Amino acid sequence: MNLASKLAEFVLRCGKTAYAEPPDNLAFHVSISQQVFQRVLKSIPSEQRTSVLDVGCANGFAREMFAEAGYSRYLGVTSRIGDIPLESRKFGMFKEMLTLFIEEDVHRIALWKSDPRLYNLVWARHIVEHSPIPLFLLEALRDQLAPDGFLYVEVPSPSTPCEHFRNANHYSCFSQEGWWSLFHKAELEVVDPFDCHVDVPAGKDVYFCFLLKSVSRQGA
């Protein structure tokens, strides 16, 4: 087995620990997503709200908020297509937004061919911490950005009573400084960093939120 095959096997093995969010957790994430999205929209001119790549889209709940914001093209990527309602899986229109869901390990985005219709927004909320190779994933997501596009990354803090680093499917739980360092290595500029504070049964939890732009793709 060569190194590439060994790495692919490793990533797929880690991916098998993915799980579906329970209904109560999904309702919680819907609420938080709507809150942070309102802040993100303040940085995105209305004319740039055209195409969005929703990475790790769970059951596709964020599709509606993107449609309401005026986005015209949506692609949701999930490693568990069974989590998407059957009626939503068909390629077609959703509230004047062209939509499609696909089942794909998110790391395979790095293999996608160059598309002239690259994304104005790549939405990666609570997905990068699930990667055992986060720098690789960040570079893959960066390469899907239009020159004026934005990448939104949200990850849990490792220093709260929730102890997210103990989650069997959390492979990358770093400090804010650690994430900033990875963004720099991935040639991503932090446009708007902020924290999201939430109350959960375990206590006070914190999510690190970063709105990013590609340093290398700007002006391309």
Write down the pLDDT at residue 17. Answer: 84
Judged by average pLDDT, the poorest of 17-31, 38-52, 102-116, 118-132 is: 17-31
Determine contact, residues 105/79, Cβ cutoff 8 Å. yes
Distance of alpha carbon 42 from alpha carbon 151, whole angstroms: 14
Mean pLDDT of the chain: 92
Both structure tokens of 71? 């986005």
Q: Which of these, 129, 126, 156, 151, lies nearest to 140 by C-alpha position?
A: 151
Structure confidence at residue 220 as a pLDDT band (50, 70, 90): low
32 inside domain: no
Q: Tell whether the model's pLDDT for residue 218 goes beyond 80.
A: no
69 inside domain: yes
DSSP at 56: S
18 inside domain: no
Structure confidence at residue 115 as a pLDDT band (50, 70, 90): low
119 inside domain: yes
Q: What is the CATH number of the domain that holds 50?
A: 3.40.50.150
Both structure tokens of 186? 């991935």
In tens, the pLDDT along 148-173 reads: 999 999 999 999 999 999 988 999 99
User: pTM score, two decimals?
Assistant: 0.94
Q: What are residue 78's DSSP bridge partners?
A: 103
Determine contact, residues 142/187, Cβ cutoff 8 Å. yes
Structure confidence at residue 217 as a pLDDT band (50, 70, 90): low
Domain that holds residue 173: 43-214
* Alpha helices per DSSP H over the chain: 3-15, 23-41, 63-68, 134-142, 176-185
3 inside domain: no
Write down the pLDDT at residue 23. Answer: 74
15 inside domain: no
Write down the pLDDT at residue 22. Answer: 75
Structure confidence at residue 219 as a pLDDT band (50, 70, 90): low
Q: What are residue 208's DSSP bridge partners?
A: 155, 195
154 inside domain: yes
What is the DSSP code string of 74-128? Answer: EEEEES-GGGS-GGGSSSEEETTEEEEEEE--GGGGGGPPP-TT-EEEEEEET-G
Q: How many separate domains does the chain show?
A: 1
Determine contact, residues 139/209, Cβ cutoff 8 Å. no
Task: Name the strand (E) or helix (H) holding 173.
Answer: none
- CA-CA-CA-CA dihedral for 211, 217, 218, 220, to nearest 10: -150
Judged by average pLDDT, the poorest of 83-92, 122-131, 151-160 is: 83-92
Q: Tell whether the model's pLDDT for residue 44 goes beyond 60.
A: yes
206 inside domain: yes
